[in-house]
Amino acid sequence: MTDMLEKLKEELDEHVLKDLDFRERNKAVVRNHFKSHREPSRVNKRFGLGILLSFGFTVLFIGFSSYFVLNHLGLTQEENLSSEKKELKENQEPKSITHPHTKENYEDMTKEDVLHKLFNSVDYFETASGEFERYNLYRDGSISKSTVEYKMSNKGVIGGYEKITSHPDPKYPQSKETIDKTYYNKENVWRLNLEFNDYSKDENIREKKRKIVKAEDIFKMDPKDIYEYEFREKYRETPPNMAAFASLYNYEFIAKYLRNENEWSIEKQNEKLLEHNTLVIAGTLDESLVNIMQPDEKDFRIWVDKDTGIIVKSEVYSETGELVSYLHPTSLEINKTFHENEFEPDLDGFQKRRMPDLPPMDEREKELEVIEHADTKLSDVEEVLAIQRDTMPLFYELDDPKITPFSASIEKYHEDLQAFVVYSYDKPENEFGSGSRLLFTRIYPKDTYLRKTGDFDRPLGEEIESTKMNGVQWSIFNVEGTEDVHVKGETGDYLIEIVTHEVSASEMKRLLDTYKKAE
C-alpha cells in the first residue's frame, strides 16, 4: 500500500503538480476569501481555519488525482468520445457472423441416416462455398458443361452469390462461352448476364421454414411429379433457385436415384474428398425412371458429406461405363464467415433488363383448369389419350405410321372440356425430343374460352382450300410468312384446329384423311 501511494505521489509530482506554484499572492487570495465571511464562533475559531485549509487541499488533491488517474487510464471525456466514434464506425462496417467449425463425422451411417441428411441438408450447415464442374451427355450426342462457383449463407448474414460459366459444345462450333451471375440477400435477387451487360432485379420471397422431411413421404410421390414446381412444398425450404443446388439441396436427384432402396447400397462408409469425410453410395437406376433425353443412364455413384448431407460428387454411367453425367468438385468449404456486402452486385456498366410489354391477362384465364397433362414419355402421353377418348364428348385422332404423339392434355373452362394433342411427324431416330416437324391440334366446344398460345395465334395468310372429310368441314390457310398451314374445322357444336410446323399443305391434306373420330 505504502509503495503504491509513493508511486502515485511520484506520478502526481511528475505529471500533475510539477507546474503548480502556490506563491504568496495565492496565499493572500485564500486569506482574503476567509476574512470576507462573518467571524466564526469561538469554538470554530480554534478549528475552523485549519479544517477549511485541510478540506481545501484535500479537494484539490482529489481533483488532481482523479484527473490524473482518468487521464492515465484513457477514460477522459475526449477519449470516451473517440471510443464512441470508433464504435459507430465499426457498426457501419459490413456485418459478418462467425460460424462454428465443422467436425467430420466418422461414425457408420445406415441408409435411413443418410437419406435423412440428404433430404434435410438445409439443417446441417450454416454457410457453404465452393466450385464444381457439371456435365451432361444427351441422346443426340450434344453435351452441356458448366463451371459453377458459389457461396451461400443460411444463417446470420442471409445471402448468396453464384457465377456460372457455360462452356461451348464441340459438336456445335457456333456455340460460345457465356457467363451469368446471381446475387441475393434478404430483400432482393439480382441476375446478371455478362454478354449483354444487363440484369434483372426481383424481390426475394423467402420460403418459410418447413418441417423435417421423411424419405418415405417423398418416395410416395409419382415419379413424374418429382421435378414439378407445384410439388416443391413436399421438399425442404431453399434459397432462390441456383445451379449450386445440384450439390447443396438436390432433393429431386435423391428422390429419383435412391427411390428404390433395393437398387443401391453404401459402398464405403468413409472416403476422404476435398478434406471432407464422405460416404459413397453405388446403385442402378430403374428403367422406368430413365430420362428420355439421356436414355443411356444406368448406374450411378454418389459421394455424400456425412456431416451435412451435401452431395460433394456424383457420377452417372451408361451400361458400357461411359459417363452420361457428373458433378465433379474442385473446392468445398463449410461454415466460412461472409460479409453482407459480398451478396450485393456492383452494377456499374450494367443496365436493367427490359421485359417485353405483355398484354393484360384476361380474367377468364383464372377459370381455366388443367385436368390431365403428359409430355415426352410416350407411355404417359398414351394414358392421357385414353382418358381423352373416354371423357371428351367429341374426339378425333390422327392415324398414320409417320405420326407419334408427343404431348396430350385436357383443360376445362366451366363445364367445357378441351382436348390438346401435339404430334411429332416423320421424326428421324436420332432426332432429339419432339423433333422439328410437328402438328398442334385442339378440339373444343363453340363459344368457350381458350388459353392464349402462340402455336394457334400465328397470323393467318390467304385461304388455300375448303374441303369436307370424315364429317368435318375444313378450311386450310397459310400461316403468314411461312410454309406452314393452319387448318380450321367445324362439326356440330365443336371446332377443331390443326397448325403445322415444317409440314407442308399437301402433306397436311393427306393427313386430314386419317383424322377420324375416336371409337
Q: What is the torsion angle, in degrees rounded to the nearest 10, for the CA atoms of residue 165, residue 236, residue 215 and residue 224? A: -60
71: pLDDT strictly greater than 70: no
Q: In the predicted model, is pLDDT for residue 186 greater than 60?
A: yes
Q: Is the pLDDT of residue 505 over 90?
A: yes
Cα separations in angstroms, 383 against 380, 405, 407, 515: 5, 11, 11, 20
Q: Give the three cell numbers for residue 79.
A: 477519449
Query: Rounded mean pLDDT of 287-295?
Result: 87
DSSP strand pairing (351-352 vs 198-203) = parallel
User: CA 451 to CA 441: how far, in whole Å?
Assistant: 14
Return the C-alpha cell found at 331.
Answer: 473446392
Distance between CA atoms of residues 158 and 137, nearest Å: 35
At a CB cut-off of 8 Å and minimum separation 6, what does 446 contact?
Answer: 493, 494, 495
Contact 137, 165 (CB under 8 A): no
C-alpha cell at 266: 453404401
Top pLDDT among 87 and 270 is at: 270
Considering the chain, what is the average pLDDT of its residues?
84
Instruction: For residues 75 and 491, give the distance between their C-alpha atoms in angstroms, rounded to a whole number.
Output: 96
Q: Does 11 have pLDDT greater than 60?
A: no
Summarised one tens digit per residue, pLDDT across range 30-70 is: 344 333 333 333 333 333 434 333 444 444 444 444 444 44
Cβ count near 452 (within 10 Å): 10
Q: Summarize pLDDT for 211-245 with one digit per residue, the tens.
A: 999 999 999 998 878 888 778 889 999 999 899 99
At 225 the pLDDT is: 84
For residue 15, is pLDDT > 50?
Answer: no
Q: What are the strands, taking DSSP E only, across 262-415? A: 264-273, 276-284, 299-305, 311-317, 323-334, 351-352, 368-375, 396-397, 403-413
**Once rounded to an integer, what is the mean pLDDT over residues 152-166?**
94
Q: Who has greater pLDDT, 305 or 174?
A: 305
pLDDT mean over 83-106: 61
Say what the pLDDT of residue 47 is. Answer: 36
94 — pLDDT class (breaks 50, 70, 90):
low
Cα–Cα distance, 248 to 170 (Å, whole number): 29
Task: Give pLDDT tens digits for 403-461.
Answer: 999 999 999 999 999 999 999 999 876 565 788 899 999 999 999 999 888 889 899 99
C-alpha–C-alpha distance, residues 65 and 299, integer Å: 83
